[in-house]
Chains A and B, each alone.
Chain A
């Protein structure tokens, strides 16, 4: 920036010196000095030599001693223009050339002045651009300085307090025990304040969750109503858009029919049953996919939207299936899961009291691991015990996914309740990657006489895929024969 200031100064100096000094000269124009010196006519031999000389001297004295200076250009022009030009033979003409012609400096002056102007423009531009960053840097600097000084004041304050506390103790104004008690109480208040603040955050979170759930419920209601209205008004040829309700109903009927037809209808019986359903099996056995299928079928065929999805890997590898469910609330982190389990228990109680007409669903994955998480352990055990009885009464379909279903993986002392109150389906994989169609219903099925059936071997149809089922209700009709 100093370069531009320097250039400006140099430019101005050069411009002024070029225009006012270097280009100036004493005699800037070509001149002519003219003397009128006529010759005498009194020449010998008519007149004597002496007389002739005197006549000439007289003429010179009268005319030739005066020199007239005028612009050469004007002299030439006048001589040219005049009809009777002055006889140059009678004149003594002396040319006086212009001294030191330096007109070129007059061209240097504007250039130097222009450079000065442009340099200052650049400087002004840089100043304008840097002004904001300069101001921000000043703000940062002043803030840092203030924070440092505040900390210093705080530190010195503490130091001084400590010195005076020591003095108080030394002179017996206060005992050490009283001082410690005071500190303890102060720390207790801080802890309480901290706990209270955390609760306030939790409260705000739960209120937001509630609001979100209500909004989603309203959205679904509104969608449903819109579909009803559009279904009545639209005259489109498209099957889906002309009457969505009847279209969905048709697809529902087709699917239910196919489910009823499949291997004596065991699949339909299980999906319709409102007992908690547990899918168990090793990795790669397709538990998540089957759970997704059942949830989607319950959503469309039994009008039960998925209210809550609890899975530590909800947005991970299982996302492809879970996204089809359009769950209203998802719990993924450990904190969210712990809270979701607590919420579910209280929600069931509330719904039991309300006796709701609307069914809804809860899907929970990887339950085995939840018990191992310290923050979720207690709520998971409570949740497991409660779900055995409360979900059915609260009209909430429950699908749980677990690797196995032992006391260790669930809750001790619930074996009988698990057997009586849940449906347990075991899935298999061939090599730990490819799911098999083989399924074992460990318990939960009863025969026509009401006898409990155990370890019933059945298979799943090939079209029983979450994506296929979802597409069946969203444009692509499922081929149940394939």
Chain B
């Protein structure tokens, strides 16, 4: 016999497993069983929540440690790689978000599904920024200040190699007087 396919709105599928009646229980027993089952479910949900937390902390610790390791072993050359690895891990942790957020234009208005996931993505990006800052911030600061120190040293050496300013002024005055004297001599000889 051909199965009947319904193409209407109702697409819910029922399980094809037969349902079996359980042993008979008194109302008190049913209540106790229900309470026990609720406790079990609570325990399982707590497990899942902790698992989620452990996963997040795993990725956080991994990205921080990897970035710090690269900086310590490769120095400034590791900065790019460290940032790339942190962003890559951020993408891994947010893989569901990228897949499930749909932004559509409907009736002239933009609408986005799974906004909750978008907010989650925002928070995780913020966390990533903190990780980058804590792993690389101090090092970047040292690099920058070292460059400035070097530039200052160079300026000091340049300044040291120059003549003192009073001697420079003496040379300018003498030179100027000599130039004026020369000009006067030339003009005077032409008059004659």
Contacts and interface: CB of A to CB of B under 8 A. Distances in A.
A214 B135 CA distance: 87
B88 to A, nearest CB: 14
B157 A142 contact: no
Interface string A75-106: 10110001010110010000000000101001
B114 interface: no
A116 B54 contact: yes
Interface string B65-82: 110110011011000000
Contact of B58 (A78, A107, A114, A124): A114
A290 to B, nearest CB: 47
A127 B66 contact: no
A351 interface: no
Interface stretch (B90-98, B102-110, B137-145): B137-145
Contacts of B139: 29
A420 interface: no
Q: Is the interface of B mostly helix, strand, loop or mixed?
A: helix
Contacts of B48: 124
B146 A75 contact: yes
Interface of B: 22-23, 25-26, 29, 32-33, 36-37, 40, 43-44, 47-48, 50-51, 54-55, 57-58, 61-62, 64-66, 68-69, 72-73, 75-76, 139, 142-143, 145-147, 149-150, 152-154, 156-157, 160
How many interface residues does chain A have, given as a range? 35 or more
A134 interface: yes
Contact of B157 (A90, A103, A116, A135): A90
Given A87-B157, A107-B65, A135 B37 contact: yes
A142 B23 contact: no
B161 to A, nearest CB: 9
A73 B40 contact: no
A143 B25 contact: yes
A142 to B, nearest CB: 5
Nearest to A68: B149
A393 interface: no
A34 B40 contact: no
A139 interface: yes
A128 interface: yes
6 contacts: A12-B57, A68-B153, A73-B75, A110-B65, A113-B62, A139-B23
Contact of A117 (B36, B54, B147, B154): B54
Contact of B47 (A117, A127, A146): A127
B99 to A, nearest CB: 22
A86 B40 contact: no
A121 interface: yes
Contacts of A87: 157
Most chain B CB within 10 A, of A23, A121, A139, is at A139
A74 B150 contact: yes
